[in-house]
Structure 1
């Protein structure tokens, strides 16, 4: 593959709506930075009512976004996929197995699976759940781009036959996520959609500290929390904070909490985008523990690790303000050096170019991919799985 600009097609869970999912913010940061490197992107999103009702980026300025109604609706985009330098299918895409099989048959360039949920995916496969990926598809993807690094990459190649499993961690748009001058509102915040396997940790590291420290202020922001949860009086609830308001949310927090899903703790090397976003905003992070976290942030110097309510309260009550600020500055420096969206976009470009050496598209195809109406693309005869 030459050093010419790349044309990629991404079939992801959502780009248009950040409601109830972390995929949209991940794709936005990565693809904006990828476009800034001179590449062109077509994002195909399944048109589903729960995201259609909460679209906060219906017309991105860094890529072309198109919606399709069902698997059959992708037939309008076969030509785009055939002409692309790379076709990337994301995790949790509806009918993802059929979509992946379609991409592998149609694409003439590199095919990749971008797993934003790798430990969850592997746990599902282990119990025979093939909601969006099947073991048979993995060897057919030229690249397995994983939110999880470490030993999981070797497992993907040795056990599942991936030709190339590569880490592509989440990242942050450091132009959008940066320190702000905002009056402190909470001593500890948490931003995340409800998840049953995260709730015990949230209980231990935020709700219990709130009960023990009524003089401190806490907030939990995110949708889908059950009505029966008993929130302490000093815990504020916000149903949703859109990405544009994340920096102000973090800036209003003396500390923010990172809570990791059980499958990701088990796998290790699975950072949440909230880690990077908060650190980029200059907000110190208190986190649960998992293998590999110390390769991303230095404990004590760049992040606080907590096992109990006592650990959290010790940080909130006893750490000097100067130490808190030093941690915030050190963590932000780490983000700027290693975990910005620009870093991830460069990694993605390298992985795609390494996966295959294909000539750049001729100019008519290049223009058709990003400027023509869908029906003008050449049609490819493909048997669609349903």
Structure 2
């Protein structure tokens, strides 16, 4: 009786259509009426974006126009730190969802605009203007029919006097696109004497216009539809994506000649490594793969204890792949080759010595001067030469 039952959840599960799956997620979906954002599956299920990048993208997409989406602005409302948010923004920028565009205002100030596109794939296909549906050809108007003239009424019998018949005006013809037969105008019959019977006159036949089919519209040659050339992307990322291909790894060093002595010494070194560092326990295949690298170190006259200390010093914790760490350090920390005999002879070769003139003290004025032999300085020599000339 102390177990709490969630009746609301039980009722919601009962309303899920179809049988419930035995494993996996069960969706209970209620339609949103307000405060919701439409997110495409291309973003929610992106195979190359991290969950942090997808969450940051959904948060940016839910913000109104003009909201601050910088690193510090997002860090103030999210639990992630600034480094994780900056890495997520770089991922979105690498996949085209986010762009940072530099723009110059009319005042001359340069600003950075942040543009977010909810479907970057649509930017690669420009929108076409909606084409109007072809309208059917209008049928040509049928030729107008001539007005049907009713027969004139028969006049009543007149007295004996015969009045003069009035002149009948000529009938007016209406313009028509196609000529139609126009019946001749009917003249009023002359009055007959009262004693004579009135003859009945048959009405003139009414012309019948048969409708003619409109001529077919001329066929207009339809030009073949040429698909538009793919336009260049609107934005070009200035920061290289963090998923750029890495440089290939350098191969494991090898000695000039893998002699049996080097092979035996390298195998013994790697097999005994776990006694000095237990975390570096290697398999037989790892030992055979790393033997050439250790042999290259031994060939360069490096002592085994120095190799062991260099390879096992300060390993990462926890160490998951000791063989990969040893291969990396054997390749990157390889010492230079020892100098040859000629290089050592060049070091022992005596350097050329420069001759330095010693100092001497003048016998007359005790002034110091440089000279290979003792004697007088230059001033004293010139004074002695002047005295000798004067005495001569």
Question: What is the TM-score when the length of structure 2 is the normalising length?
Answer: 0.18
Q: Which has the higher helix share?
A: 1
- Structure with higher Rg: it is 2
Tell me: higher relative CO, structure 1 or 2? Use CA pairs within 8 A at least 6 residues apart: 1
Question: What is the TM-score when the length of structure 1 is the normalising length?
Answer: 0.18
Q: Which has the higher strand share?
A: 1
